Amino acid sequence: MERPQRHNDRPRPSEPGPNPDRSLAYNLGAFFGEIIKAVRTPVDVPAARQPPVHVRHETRETELQTQDGRVRVRRTVVDEVERLRD
């Protein structure tokens, strides 16, 4: 027969949960230590991308009569050139 688990029993390795042997101060120190470590770690900054160059911008509009009334159909085509760095 299994004994009932009490709140002060150590968690078994297969059971997730906080370690009761560590104090609140220890856990807070570990938490803020990870944040400080993340802030101090350099981040690889990607090279700045050049904005695309617009080659052509074309808009066509047409008004049509439908059963629901008049509608405007608009088609816009934008051609761009983007320079890629090797």
State if pTM tops 0.95.
no
DSSP of the chain: -PPPPPTTSPPPTTS-S--TTS-HHHHHHHHHHHHHHHHHS--PPPPPPPPPEEEEEEEEEEEEEETTEEEEEEEEEEEEE-PPP-
pLDDT at residue 21 in the model: 77
pLDDT at 42: 86
75 pLDDT higher than 60: yes
Q: Tens digit of pLDDT for each residue in 2-56?
A: 666 555 555 555 555 566 678 888 888 989 999 999 999 888 877 777 777 878 8
pLDDT at 15: 52
Could you give the C-alpha distances from 86 to 25, 47, 48, 83, in angstroms and in order? 50, 11, 13, 10
